[in-house]
Every structure is written in C-alpha cells, then in structure tokens.
Structure 1
Amino acid sequence: MVRNGRVIQASTCAGALALVALPLWSGACLAQSAAATDPVLREKIDAQGRRIDEMRSRMAEQLAELEQMKRELAVQERQYNDLRQAIGLGALEQARGGSAALADPRAQADPAQETPSAPPPGAPSPGVTAPVVATQPVGRRPEQDERPPEVAPIFDQPGVLTPRGRLIVEPSYQYGYSSSDRVALVGYTVIPAILIGLVDVRQVKTTTQTGAVAFRYGLTNRMEVEVRIPYVDTHTDTISREIFTGTAQDRLFTTSGKGLGDIEATLRYQINDGGADKPYYIGWFRAKSRTGRDPFEVTSDCVTRCVENLTGTGLPLRNPTGSGFYSAQLGVTWLYPSDPVVFFGNLSYLHNFERKNVSRNVLASGKQFLGDIKAGDIADISIGMGLSLNEKASISIGYDQAFVARMTQNGHPLAASARSTLGSLLIGGSYRFNDKETLNVTLGVGITRDTPDTTVTVRLPITL
C-alpha cells in the first residue's frame, strides 16, 4: 500500500508485485486481482486479445499481398523497358539527356517508407508490431537500346531489323512513269544547219506497276533474312511519224508485258551497338535471280520501226519483266540519331554476272547471235533524314543517286551504250496503326533525264 507518498511492503496481489513504486501500479494489481475473481471482465480481456490476434493476421496477409504487388510491379517494369527498346525510345531519351537512375525515385531509398525495427526484448510494446520486411529496390535500370530508331523508310533497305523469332509480311505496290523524246538522224549534212536525209522523232511513254510481297524473319536480334517476290506489269506507248511517207499524222505503237519478276533474297546484320550521337551500321547482301522474262526472250519486230536496218532491229513486241542477268549486291546502311531527327543513308555496289552465248529473237529472221553480254555494274549512294512527329507518325526526305557503267559485248563496251547517272528525290511518310501494322508511303521524283519521272511506293509491313 501507499501512504503519504512512501513505498511500503505489499502483502496482497498474490505476490504479483514485490515493490510498488507508483499508485498506478497498485491500481493495476487491484484490477488483476479483480479480473481473477470476475469472469465477465476476464471474458472481455480474452475477446480483446483475440481481436488483436486477428488484426495481426490481417496485417501479415496485407504485407504478403504488398510483397506480391512489388514483384508484379518489377515484372511490369521489365516488360515496359523491353517495349521501349523495341520501339527505339531508349536512344531518344538518352539523346535528350535523361537518366533513368536519376529520374526514377524508386531507385533511391525513401526514409519515410522504411519499416521500423523490432523493439528490444522486454521493452513495453507501444501497440501492434508488424513483422519486419526488408526493403528492396523495385524494378531495374533500363538497359541501353541496341536497336536503331525507326524512321519512315524511303529506300529499299530498312533500318530496323526484325526481332528474333518474328516474321514480317510486307505487301507493297509501286507505280512508275517515265517519258522521253528520241531523235534519230539518218543522212549527211552539207553544212551544220542543213541535213540531207531522214529525221525520225519518237516520244516514248512507259508505265510500270509492280506488286510484291516480302517475307522477313529474324534469325537473331542482330540478323534477319528476307525474300521478295515481285509481279510486274509494264506498258509502253511509242508515238512517232512514219518516215518515207511525208505524212504529218502521228502513229502509236503499243507494247505491254506482265508476269513474275526477278525474285530476290537479302541477308542483313547489325554490326554495332549505336546510341545517342553514335551511329548504327547494318551490313547487307542481296542476291537477285532472273526468274522474270528477260529482254533476250521477247521478239522484236524489224518491220514496225526500222530505218533500212540502220537503226537496229526495231522495237520489242512484248515488254520484259526481268533484267535478264544474275546479280549480287553488297552494301551498308547507317543511322545516326541526333535528337530530334535521325540521319540515315546507304552505300552499295551491284555486280551483274556475264551471260554466255546470248541470242535474241527477231521477227521473220529467227535468232540473232550476240555472244557474251554483261550489263553494267551499279554503284549507289543515298542519304536522308527522318523526323518523328508523334508516337505514330513520322516523315523522311532523302536523295538517291546511282552510277551505271557501260554494257559490254564479248569483253568490249558496246558502241551504243554509255555511262548514265540516275538521281531521285525521295519524300516519305509513315503511320503506325498499332504494334503490328504500319503504313509507309514514298514519293520519288526523277532529277536526271534517265530516271523515271515519278514513282509512288506503298508498303504495309505486318508483324505476325
């Protein structure tokens, strides 16, 4: 008992307290003694203990659910980073100076979210103590993007390779139109201003439509193979005035041809890992067959357009759908990300293999032996830049120039063949409908006289 603030021996409380320091402790002893004799109070204490145990169980379950949510969040963040790498956003974010380690607050420890440590044994508990859970960082640092950024393709070679195990089917359609004037002079001149002889003027208009389907498959994340199967439909109109007749009326000579074109196969390999202000290099090799109808198979008519056998064997009665030569092309494609644009280009060399013992068909004359024929090799260079407008649309502009060597016959250059330069200005746009379908449109305008006046190409790659 306590009297006048002094501590004395207590003989009650059934030995629960040896010393009483405060009046409150004395009241606790009395309550304990009363609880031992009062069953109602004891039942309330037991019920409260059961509620505390239930609350502890619920908190343990909630902590387990929280850990599960953390694991799911880590998986989702890894998937998110993989998607960013697939669409080429990692290089763009690095180019803008973003750092995932500094921008992500979850990568740093938050003192307010740390779990308090357990109290030492024997210390009074302030309340319900939750189990101690070790804090771990959620997610991971984004890896460096190894794939080049996507741009609107305007050249034949794509810049982004197909991921491993993926198949892309790309149907395409190309429309081309070209017009040229040809003047043939047969005779002799007395002075440079006076010609004695014949003048044959022809205007040739050619329309070419090519429908193709390409299959691209990713062997690895750095290598893909492509097979392209084209179908060609050409139409040529030749307008001229008949010579020897003195007429002023134009005549039209029309030829056409359609069928399977030359099937191609291409192998591409990404050489290095580019990034912000660091170029990507993709090497590629293309082999072209001659499955299409070549120019030496069609029959030429010497009666329709011949000037007494002085200007050749006339015009073909049917247009070819192939080049007539096997060829191999080796090149490299480069892409240089520089926020907010991407610069890109191609450098390639095409070699045409020589054909032995070639002959052509002439109407009413049979086969005419030509010997060994080799088409001129082609060196090609192109450059352009692409700009992303938003997450789905992008535009590109570029220039392509090809240098064509002379054709040879029996090891010697043909007298009628000459070197030519083909230059085209290309403008393209791309729109991504979803993750599997993208529409690409390219407009080409001929710069040099030997280049088609205009070409329009539509591609729709579909990822399976």
Structure 2
Amino acid sequence: MPDNNVYNNLQSAACRGSALLLLAATISPLAVAQGGAGDERIREAQPSQSVKDVLREEHALFSRRLTIEPGISYSYSDRSELGLSGFLALDAIFLGNISVDNVESHTTTFDLTARYGITDRLEVQLAIPYVYRNSRYETGGAGGNPDAPVDATVEQGRLGDVSAGVYYRVLPEAEVRPDVVWNLSVRAPTGKHPYDIRTTTIDRGDGELENLTVPKDLPSGNGVWGVSTGLSFLKTVDPAIIFANVGYTHNIERSFDDISSGEEAVPGDVNLGDTISLGFGTAFALNQRFSLSMSLSHQHSFETKITSGGREQEVIGSGANAASVNFGATYGLTDSTSIVTNVGVGMTDDAPDFTLDFRVPFQM
C-alpha cells in the first residue's frame, strides 16, 4: 500500500507539471507579441527630428512642451516709376521731360515666438516682433533737369504688431486623409501706424524746391486690430510631406484723430482691406535631422476705404496681390534645437523681391 501511494503522488505531480508547461507555452507567445506591438507603437509615435521641424514650421507640432523660437527675417523690394511730362509724336518719339522715381525698401524684423502644446490636439502661440526699416527714395529729372537726381533716406526701428493664436487639431492623419488643423489668431496694433505720418519736400540747398517728397517717419504696423482664421493640411507620403493652407484675415475698422500727411489734422475712420491667403508645398526628410522644402504662397488684399467728413472713399492702388516661391532647409542640431532657413523670391510687383528668414527654435 505505501508503494502504491508514492506512485500515485508522483503520477499526479507529473500531470500537474505537464499542464503548467502547456499553459506557459500557450501564454508566452501572446505576451511576447503584446510586448513587441507596444514597442512598435512607441517607435511610431516618435517622428524624426527633421519631420518635427517641418511640422512645427508648416503646421503644428503639439509636442506638450514649451518651444522658444528667436528669429530674424530680411526683405528687400525695389520699385521704379516712370513719369512722363510731354507728348508722343509719330507714335514713337516722346517729346518732353522724363522723371524716374525709385524706392528701395529694406525691412529687418527681429521676432520672438513662444509655442506651448497644452494637449496633443491644442497648441497656443505668442509672437513679439521688432521692426527696423530703411527706405531710400530717389528721383531723376528734378526741376526739369535729368542730370540732377535727388535722393533721401529714411530709417526707423520700433516694436511691431504683437499677435497671439491658438491651433486645434480637427482630424488626425489617417491612411486616406491628411492631418487637419484649424487656427485662430488676433493681431494687436502695438506698432506705429501709417495714418498720420508727415511728409517733407527735399530742398537742394539753392532755394529751389525739388519734386521729391518723402515721409518723415516709417510705420511698423497696420494700426488696426486684426482677426485671422484658417485651415492647414498635412499628409505624410514617405519620404515626402505634402502641406497646404488657406486663411482669411479681417481687419477691424478704427477711428483716428488724424489720417492726413499734411500739417492740418484730419480725423477719419480707416477700414483696412481684408486679406485672403493660400499656399501649398512639399518637404523631403533626407535623413533623421536634415530636410528640404519648397512652397508657393499667395496673398490677396482688398482695397482700403477711408471715411472722412461723412464721406467714404476707396484708396486707389491700396489693393495688392503678393505671390512668392519659397525654398527652405532645416537641420536638427540636437533633439531639442534646430536651425531653420528660408529664402523667398517674389513673383508679383506687390511681393518683396527677396526675403530671407533665419530661426533657431529650441524646446524646453
């Protein structure tokens, strides 16, 4: 009987051990598979530094971290106007005086932008610019003498218009749809407005007034409150990223004590024309830290209307169409600091001839 009990106990232990081994063999592959899938999801949630740079500059990053982005941008524009005083003979020969007016504008903007991702779908932004402008005015044929050109330079630097905005992810990117972000921003008239700037006429020094009139000061802002809204779209097509945006800016009408460039103050209301903007482009992440981009941007501004003395009138020539082609590059120095450069070439007369942007965003 003892031998039979020992044998039965050994047989029961062997059965229990086999069951445990079978259960372990069944559970282990499932646990390994779940752990592998979790690691893969973590890897997919961490895009490369070059992709992050493209998202931050062209869309929104939603990183849940504070990003500080100091930057400097420079733009140059050159406009020439030909003034004719006379008549055309035989449809080919002009008889009279010719005056050539040329304006060269150099604008340098130092700005500090702060972004913070509150959630993975909500981000806020604040931008503070400082604008330095240098404009050179030149005219030929002054006083009827084409050999006596007159020129003058005006420069000024001061705070620009401060803006604040919010970005909200409406739809996350999926296999068949892009990532869609809605934005809303407000621009405050903290800069110098252009509606009461006095002008002066250049005197050559011999008592003869010339035909060159220049402003005594230069503006650094629009002078009115502005509200902007729009949508941006982004789709990843490895190794490229395709993006597009559309926006609308409404400028709120404002009253001023003086809107004249003369010595006498003239009060009035300024209804700055609204603006429609759109753009699209693509970026290529060449490796983990370096990317290249190219895009086209267009902005159409409607005419400005001024009300003075109870009568509203449209400012002739105040509407504008500005289109430019942009080429950019980003390089990630570290996981939290990057260098962003962009070069723009104007395609229309209302766009700057040349723009250059240089930014160094870093996350804290």
TM-score (norm. length: structure 1): 0.65
Of 109, 121, 124, which residue of structure 2 is paired with 1:225?
A: 124
Query: Is 1:285–2:200 an aligned residue pair?
Result: no
| Cα drift, residue 444 of structure 1 | 0.3
CA apart distance, 1:304: 5.9
Relative contact order higher in (CA < 8 Å, ≥ 6 apart) = 2
Moved more, 235-244 or 140-149: 140-149
Number of the residue aligned with 2:341: 441
- Does structure 2 conserve the Cα–Cα contact (< 8 Å) formed by 1:240 and 1:252? yes
Say if 1:262 and 1:292, in contact at 8 Å, map to a contact too: yes
Partner of 2:72: 173
Q: Secondary structure at the match of 1:244?
A: helix
- For 1:412 and 1:224, how far apart are their aligned partners in 2? 40
Query: 2:7 is matched with which residue?
Result: none
Taking the TM superposition and a 5 Å limit, the aligned residue runs for 1:3-402 are 120-121=11-12, 135=28, 137-138=31-32, 139=35, 140-141=37-38, 142-143=40-41, 150=51, 153=54, 158-164=58-64, 166-185=65-84, 199-241=98-140, 243-302=142-201, 314-360=213-259, 362=261, 366-369=263-266, 371-402=268-299
**How far does residue 359 in structure 1 lie from its aligned partner after superposition?**
1.8
Partner of 2:301: 404
1:271 alignment partner, SS class: strand
What is the aligned length? 339
Listed as ranges, the matches of 1:415-426 within 5 Å are: 416-426=316-326
**Structure 2 contact 285–292 (Cα < 8 Å) conserved:** yes
Quote the Cα distance in structure 2 between the aligned partners of 1:170 and 1:185: 49
Amino acid at match of 1:461: P
Q: SS of the residue aligned with 2:171?
A: coil
Distance 1:148 1:420 in 2: 39
Question: CA 1:161–1:361 in structure 2 vs 1: closer, same or farther (change >3 Å)?
Answer: same
Report the alpha carbon displacement of residue 266 of structure 1 after superposing the two structures with TM. 1.0
- Equivalent residues of 2:53, 2:338 under 8 A apart: no
Q: SS at 1:206's partner residue?
A: strand
Letter in 2 for 1:427: F
Give the AA of the match of 1:230: P
Structure 2, unaligned stretches of length 5 or more?
Answer: 5-9
Question: CA 1:455–1:302 in 2, change beyond 3 Å: closer, same or farther?
Answer: same
What amino acid is the match of 1:291?
T
Alignment check: 8 A CA contact 2:166 2:184 kept: yes
Query: How many angstroms does 1:245 deviate by?
Result: 4.9
Secondary structure at the counterpart of residue 367 of structure 1 = coil
Give CA-to-partner distance per residue, 1:33-88, whole Å, 9 cap, x none: xxxxxxxxxxxxxxxxxxxxxxxxxxxxxxxxxxxxxxxxxxxxxxxxxxxxxxxx
Secondary structure at the aligned position of 1:137 is classed as helix
Instruction: Describe the shift of the 1:147–1:221 C-alpha distance in structure 2 as closer, same or farther (beyond 3 A).
Output: farther
Q: 1:369 to 1:120 in 2, by over 3 A?
A: farther
After superposition, the Cα gap between the structure-2 partners of 1:278 and 1:189, relative to the gap in structure 1 and judged at 3 Å, is same
Relative distance call for 1:341 and 1:463 in structure 2 (3 A) is same
Name the SS of the counterpart of 2:298 in structure 1. strand
Residues 147-205 of structure 1: per-residue CA shift (max 9 Å, x gap): 99936559x964133323x1110011101111110223456778866777654311111
Instruction: Give yes or no for contact 2:70–2:111 (8 Å, CA) kept in 1.
Output: yes
Task: After superposing the two structures, state which structure 1 stretch, 238-247 or 140-149, moved more.
Answer: 140-149
Identity level (%): 24
Task: Give CA deviations for 1:371-407 in whole Å, capped at 9, x if unaligned.
Answer: 2222211111101011110111111111001111111
Q: 1:298 to 1:412 in 2, by over 3 A?
A: closer
Q: Is the 8 A contact 1:173 1:212 kept in 2?
A: yes
How many angstroms apart in 1 are the aligned matches of 2:146 and 2:324?
A: 38
Q: Report the Cα distance in structure 2 between the residues aligned to 1:304 and 1:414, rounded to whole angstroms.
A: 32
Q: Name the aligned partner's letter for residue 276 of structure 1.
A: E
Q: 1:161/1:358 Cα in 2 relative to 1: closer, same or farther (>3 Å)?
A: farther
Write the distance in 2 (CA, Å) between the matches of 1:152 and 1:191: 61
2:302 and 2:319 in contact (8 A); partners too: yes
List alignment gaps of at least 5 residues for structure 1: 1-15, 19-118
How far apart, in 2, do the equivalents of 1:398 and 1:158 lie? 10
Instruction: Pick which of 404-413 and 328-337 moved more.
Output: 404-413
Distance 1:198 1:191, change over 3 A: same
Q: Secondary structure at the match of 2:292?
A: strand
For the residues of structure 2 that align with 1:459 and 1:240, how far apart are their CA atoms?
A: 37
Larger Rg computed on CA atoms? 1
Contact kept, 8 Å, 1:329 with 1:351, in 2: the verdict is yes
